[in-house]
Amino acid sequence: MKLFETHGGLLSIQEAIHRGVPAVGIPILGDQKQNVNRAVSFGFAVKLNFVNFSTESVTWALREGLEDPR
């Protein structure tokens, strides 16, 4: 796995950390937004806004996650 797309649930974030792969988080409800924000602050995730979801934003997030050397 090169990149993990997730809704941002705690177990999903832990799985990305365990596997050592970047994540693209698309939080929808509950603690997901906070979890994705923390992952972004730690530098291993990119956040997409569910409300403004588009082909361009997904393409950007995938490239960012796959090409960023962090």
Give the domain range for residue 10. Answer: 4-67
Query: Does the pTM of the predicted model rise above 0.75?
Result: yes
Report the alpha-carbon distance of residue 57 to residue 17 in Å, rounded: 23
Residue of 56, 63, 52 whose CA lies nearest to 26: 52
In this prediction, residues 23-52 reach a mean pLDDT of 93
In this prediction, residues 21-35 reach a mean pLDDT of 94
| pLDDT given for residue 54 in this prediction | 86
In this prediction, residues 31-48 reach a mean pLDDT of 95
The CATH number assigned to the domain holding 22 equals 3.40.50.2000
| pLDDT given for residue 42 in this prediction | 94
